[in-house]
Amino acid sequence: MNYKKHGDTILAEVRLEDSITSGQFDMFGCVLNNEDSILGDLKVTSSYKLMRALGIYKKDISTGEIYKSGLKKGQPKFKKQICFNGVRHVMDWALQLNYYRMLLEANDYEVKDMVIQALCRDFSTRTAAEREITRPLYLNKQNQ
């Protein structure tokens, strides 16, 4: 296997292939906390996609008040509440990362854990803050 070695701890930008497809993972090795055999992938994404990947969503909750005039007269008033326990929408990332894992394991590498490092390109905007995305980088652990 041809690979680029960064120090003695990380394989980076390695292209692997099998009879179905090929793929190039971003990093493998001591990626986090000096733990070995971690498969990592870098993603540059929007605050919206990152919000969904982290399981953050907004829901309407009743304020207990009713509109007194206008088109909504007599209807209840609602406000948005941020929730952090939603479904993590990471299917496309998980499929890609798991296939990289399968390719690595077919080449006799043991993968102990997987992580997505998501870089939010619009983290400093008002819209991102409203979505509770306040940092440029988030780690998203994937299950095998």
Q: Mean pLDDT for the chain? A: 88
Indicate the pLDDT class of residue 3, thresholds 50, 70 and 90: very low
Q: What would the two tokens of residue 119 be?
A: 């870089």
pLDDT digits (tens, 9 = 90+) for 72-88: 999 999 999 999 999 99
CB 42 within 8 A of CB 25: no
Whole-number pLDDT of residue 48: 96
The one-letter code for the residue type at 86 is G
d(CA 101, CA 61): 42
Asked if the model's pLDDT at residue 123 lies above 60, the reply is yes
d(CA 62, CA 77): 6
pLDDT digits (tens, 9 = 90+) for 5-25: 445 567 778 888 888 888 888
Out of 5-9, 57-61, 62-66, least confident range:
5-9
Query: CA nearest 142: which of 91, 106, 68?
Result: 91
d(CA 62, CA 17): 53
